[in-house]
Amino acid sequence: MSSGKKLSQAEKASLIQSLRTHRVNTLIELRRIEKVFANLNTPEVTEPMTSAWAHYVNSNNLLSELRGLTKNYPFSSECLDEAKWMVIGDPQSTRSWNYCWLVLQKAKNQNLIPKHARQLAVKPQMWGGRTPTAAGVEQLAAACVAEWTRALNQLLRHWDSPPTTTGR
């Protein structure tokens, strides 16, 4: 990319192509492109950016990044799935092209992490087939909540402000 804020047509086309072919598949790289496109404020970048974020979430790249940050207690796919369904059902979700940000915010704001941590903590398979004690369930749920919340907040720190339909 050229230095400064001016982006050539060729550079813009290259970025759009990288989004459409899913060559860019990490939150950091998508976020870098999102910042560039937010400064352009042109409608031609909205669809590729929206599609790239949706692909990132729906192809489990978001879950993989969250699980990379939660080594002791892998982030719950059920928690993320519930957040996705909530975003899809929310008419306010059109306020942003960033499905990833919307899903992370939904998981945080709807307190999905404590709910799914508790559901995980009561499963007998988490306890080697034994019935867990109430104290054990609370301890495991608290550990999951702490680790999952830290990971979710770490990803959300990539945005200074909520991305809108124009990426700003």
Q: What is the pTM of this model?
A: 0.91
Residues 56/128, Cβ–Cβ less than 8 Å: no
What totals of helices (H) and strands (E) does the chain contain, helices first?
A: 8, 0
Residues 35/5, Cβ–Cβ less than 8 Å: no
pLDDT digits (tens, 9 = 90+) for 65-94: 999 999 999 999 999 999 999 999 998 887
Q: Which residues contact 128 (CB under 8 A, 6 or more apart)?
A: none
- C-alpha–C-alpha distance, residues 104 and 27, integer Å: 12
pLDDT digits (tens, 9 = 90+) for 29-66: 999 999 999 888 788 999 999 999 999 999 999 999 99
Closest CA to 42 of 2, 12, 5: 12
pLDDT digits (tens, 9 = 90+) for 122-154: 999 999 989 999 999 999 999 999 999 999 999
